[in-house]
Each structure stands twice: as C-alpha cells, then as structure tokens.
C-alpha cells in the first residue's frame, strides 16, 4: 500500500478539528447543535461547556446493543439520528460529542482504536482543553452514569491506543 505525506503549515493546527466532516457531520441548524448552544448558555470556560455537553450525553444516550451486534460495514453515524433515538454505539456517541463541541469552536477529535477498558474496537474523543489534548469517553461513562455511579470525565490516555483519528 502506497502512502504519501502532506505537511501543512497552519497558524493553528487544531483548526482542522472544528470542521464538519463525513463522520462528524453537522450544521448550525441541527437539533443537537441547538442543544449545545442551550447547554453552553452562561458557561464562561470551554471546560464548563465540555462538561455540560458530556453530562447531557452520558445521562441521555444509551448504548444500542442491537446495532452493536449487527453494525453494517458502511455504517456512518448521524448526530440527528443519535440525538432523536437517544441511542447509538460508541462511534455515534463520539460523533455527537465531537459535533456539539466543534460547533462551539472547541477542537475535538473522534478517535478509534483499542482501550484497556473494553475488549472490542472502540471510538472515543480527544478534546483540546487548557492548552492540551485530553481523553474523554462518553460511551464508557454513559453506562457508569446511568447506573448511578460516579465517572471521571477525563480519562488516562495511556489506557487508549489510537488506530485512527478524525
């Protein structure tokens, strides 16, 4: 397999993690983006905004066991579908979280790979907060929060191994 490398010189290299792309597709009029604006009202820092969106997703979106058993090979998340149905697999959780944060100009990556917390291929996010990238896993934490247990929003990045990032 042939690969080429392309080097871009950007004033801010994190700007690429603010865009709507194929697997994190959003527009300013989408319901989840409107919800993000509502959640951000009165919040001063990016950290407060991230926590508000994190709390919303972990409390309201459940893991879709049926979809997880039969994920189509061409599956792409839809933030509207996840938001409306209130369920998805990790890819959908991560896409929704990324879109909501990107819409508020908070650089966010959708990351795929392995985690020591699970024995299956997984998706999570990295969010640029206070000058550094932090690991946040809304899928893992939704199960914890919904079972009335406490979850730490920021994870130990050493527990995750990246294969892809968007």
Query: What CATH number is given to the structural domain containing 114?
Result: 3.10.620.30
Instruction: Note whether residue 106 is domain-resident.
Output: yes
Helix (H) or strand (E) holding 98: helix 90-102
Question: Is pLDDT at 10 greater than 90 in this prediction?
Answer: no
Q: What does the pLDDT look like over 78-101, one tens digit per residue?
A: 999 999 999 999 999 999 999 999
Q: Is 11 within a domain?
A: no
> Model confidence at 48, in pLDDT bands (50, 70, 90)?
very high
* Position 3 in a domain: no
76 in a domain, yes or no?
Answer: yes
Tell me, yes or no, whether 14 lies in a domain.
no
For residue 50, give both structure tokens. 């991230």
Question: What pLDDT, in 10s, does the model give residues 13-27?
Answer: 888 999 999 999 999
> Which one, of 18, 10, 8, lies nearest residue 110 by Cα?
18
Q: Which pLDDT belongs to residue 13?
A: 83
- Please give the model's pTM, rounded to 2 decimal places: 0.93
Among candidates 77, 102, 97, 94, which has minimal Cα distance to 14?
102
| Gap between the Cα atoms of 72 and 54, Å rounded | 27
Tell me the HSE value of 79 on the side-chain side, using a 13 A CA sphere. 28
Residue 49 domain boundaries: 21-165
Average pLDDT over residues 59-64: 97
What pLDDT band is residue 4 in, cutting at 50, 70 and 90? confident
pLDDT at 11: 80
pLDDT of residue 7: 76
Model confidence at 12, pLDDT cuts 50, 70, 90, reads confident
Q: Average pLDDT for residues 18-46, to the nearest whole number?
A: 96
**Is the predicted pLDDT of residue 102 greater than 80, yes or no?**
yes
Q: What is the arithmetic mean of pLDDT over 156-166?
A: 97
pLDDT of the residue at 67: 96
Predicted pLDDT at 151 = 92
Residue 83 domain-assigned (yes or no): yes
Number of domains making up the chain: 1
Residue 27, in any domain of the structure: yes
What is the structure's pLDDT at 6? 75
SS3 2: coil
**Mean pLDDT in the chain?**
95
- Cα dist from 153 to 48, 58, 82, 132, whole Å: 12, 10, 20, 15
DSSP state of 118: -
């Amino acid at each position: 397999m042939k690969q080429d490398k392309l080097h871009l010189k950007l004033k801010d290299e994190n700007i690429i993690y603010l865009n709507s792309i194929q697997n994190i597709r959003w527009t300013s009029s989408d319901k989840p983006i409107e919800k993000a604006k509502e959640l951000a009202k009165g919040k001063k820092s990016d950290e407060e905004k991230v926590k508000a969106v994190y709390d919303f997703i972990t409390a309201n979106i459940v893991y879709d066991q049926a979809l997880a058993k039969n994920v189509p090979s061409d599956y792409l998340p839809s933030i509207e579908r996840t938001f409306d149905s209130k369920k998805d697999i990790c890819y959908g959780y991560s896409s929704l979280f990324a879109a909501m944060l990107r819409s508020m100009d908070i650089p966010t990556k959708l990351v795929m790979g392995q985690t020591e917390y699970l024995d299956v291929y997984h998706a999570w996010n990295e969010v640029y907060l206070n000058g550094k990238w932090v690991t946040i896993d809304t899928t893992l934490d939704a199960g914890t929060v919904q079972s009335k247990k406490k979850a730490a929003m920021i994870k130990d990045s050493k527990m995750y191994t990246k294969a892809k990032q968007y």
